């Protein structure tokens, strides 16, 4: 089937977040782990390409995004969505703005919007400032993120250094007047040469208004929640067929494992909650891994009863993370943990695991690559923006949920397993 919407996500958990919200429509969503080598065939109405470009050098991020765009265009996509984190995770140089401008240039688009709001998960934008719950971004736990510490809450100030064209705001007062008023405001800003527009949103109704006003743009950018109204809008426009294919659910074996690499505040709570259930657990220490490698962890997981879903985790408090980074360097500390979790995932699969609960964007990328997964079909949600996904690893059907560090309730790991019982 011809693809209607082509999406590019800057990390793996963000891609599943987006795919899961699109799948609420009941229409088939396909998630590709990286840009496929083969030409498009048997594509879904909604195609999402997961890249790993949030913190790579800008030129690499742009090149990969343009490669993804080319594949999605070949699949027949008529509209495009650039998805980044709902906390606007970025470095001083990008990569949100540079990728957006490159995609705009390739599509011949003169204006796009930025709206990372996700009210259902406590992300809101008011007067251009991003809030995490009731806290401004710069006062939230994101201020201590080990890779992308966010020390400013103003999306305008964050975006301006990343782009070459003017940045402006469409505030909540404009959005509250409805889609037509927002379209008029965007048109006025375009006539003034404004290419990049931050759009306020504090509630789901705001996102519906923004999507209605902007869904005919060649490129929209934002968090996953902004894409949620698009299937109904595309159906109303006749772009999405009424008989579009739906979701699948394969049969799976009973083994499962939880792999947690995220060190976010919420993932720390989720690990603590799961440990309190009495589950078998193995903690990865970056300093020990640097000295001895992952063999002990791999041997441990291979010896576990996988029907009881053991946990392997590197999740730690910010002080411990900083200590490891000071000893090993930020990149090496992260890579050591990712490699170890990837090795454990392979050992778990070979020992019979068929369900993988994975926490953390970098961890998700490492695990899916190790398992040889290059395509996921999206299933039911566990929590807002976090679905179960189905794939094939070395000829074996498996299920994965790839959770962004800050998403889900404290009981997420147990919740995920209860949603997909043998």
pLDDT in tens, the chain (422 residues): 689 999 999 988 888 889 989 988 888 899 998 999 999 988 999 999 999 899 899 999 999 999 999 999 999 999 999 999 999 999 888 999 999 999 999 999 999 999 999 998 899 999 999 999 999 999 998 888 877 889 999 999 999 999 999 999 999 999 999 999 999 999 999 999 999 999 999 999 999 999 999 999 999 999 999 999 999 999 999 988 766 655 566 778 889 999 999 888 899 999 999 999 999 999 999 999 999 999 999 999 999 999 999 999 998 888 888 888 888 888 888 889 999 999 999 999 999 999 999 999 889 889 999 999 989 888 888 888 788 989 999 999 999 998 888 888 999 999 999 987 65
pLDDT of residue 140: 92
pLDDT of residue 365: 84
Answer whether 410's CB lies under 8 Å from 270's CB.
yes
CATH topology of 5-237 equal to that of 255-419? Answer: no
The CATH homologous superfamily to which domain 5-237 belongs is: Putative sugar-binding, N-terminal domain (3.40.50.10840)
pLDDT of residue 318: 82
pLDDT of residue 41: 87
pLDDT of residue 242: 67
pLDDT of residue 406: 80
- pTM for this model (two decimals): 0.78
pLDDT of residue 414: 95
The full set of domain ranges for the chain reads: 5-237, 255-419
Enter the CATH code of domain 255-419. Answer: 3.40.980.20
pLDDT of residue 145: 82
């Amino acid at each position: 089937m011809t693809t209607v919407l082509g999406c590019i996500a800057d990390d793996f958990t963000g891609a599943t977040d987006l795919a899961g919200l699109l799948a609420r429509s009941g229409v088939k969503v396909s998630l590709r782990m990286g840009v496929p080598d083969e030409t498009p065939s048997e594509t879904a109405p909604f195609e999402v390409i997961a890249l790993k470009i949030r913190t790579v050098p800008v030129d690499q991020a742009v090149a990969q995004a343009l490669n993804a765009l080319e594949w999605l265009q070949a699949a027949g996509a008529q509209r495009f969505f650039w998805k980044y984190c709902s906390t606007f995770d970025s470095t001083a140089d990008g990569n949100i703005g540079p990728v957006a401008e490159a995609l705009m240039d390739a599509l011949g688009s003169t204006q796009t919007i930025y709206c990372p709001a996700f009210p259902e998960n406590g992300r809101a934008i008011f007067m251009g400032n991003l809030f995490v719950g009731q806290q401004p971004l710069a006062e939230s736990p994101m201020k201590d993120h080990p890779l992308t510490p966010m020390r400013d809450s103003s999306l305008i100030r964050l975006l301006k250094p990343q782009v070459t064209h003017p940045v402006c705001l469409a505030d909540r007062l404009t959005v509250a007047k409805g889609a037509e008023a927002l379209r008029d405001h965007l048109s006025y800003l375009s006539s003034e040469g404004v290419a990049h527009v931050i759009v306020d949103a504090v509630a789901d109704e705001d996102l519906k208004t923004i999507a209605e006003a902007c869904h005919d743009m060649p490129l929209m950018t934002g968090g996953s929640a902004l894409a949620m109204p698009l299937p109904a809008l595309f159906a109303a426009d006749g772009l999405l067929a009424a008989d579009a294919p739906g979701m699948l659910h394969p049969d799976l074996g009973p083994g499962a494992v939880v792999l947690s690499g995220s060190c976010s505040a919420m993932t720390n709570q989720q690990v603590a909650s799961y440990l309190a259930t009495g589950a078998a657990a193995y903690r990865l220490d970056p300093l020990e891994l640097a000295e001895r490698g992952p063999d002990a962890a791999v041997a441990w997981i291979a010896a576990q009863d996988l029907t009881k879903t053991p946990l392997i985790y590197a999740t730690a408090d910010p002080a411990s993370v900083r200590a490891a980074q000071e000893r090993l360097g930020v990149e090496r500390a992260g890579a050591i943990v990712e490699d170890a979790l990837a090795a454990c995932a392979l050992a778990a699969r070979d020992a019979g695991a068929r369900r993988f609960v994975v926490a953390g964007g970098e961890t998700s990328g490492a695990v899916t690559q190790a398992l040889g997964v290059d395509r996921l079909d999206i299933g039911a949600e566990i929590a807002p923006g976090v679905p179960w996904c189905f794939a094939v690893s070395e000829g074996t059907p498996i299920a994965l949920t790839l959770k962004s560090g800050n998403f889900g309730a404290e009981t997420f790991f147990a919740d995920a397993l209860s949603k997909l019982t043998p």
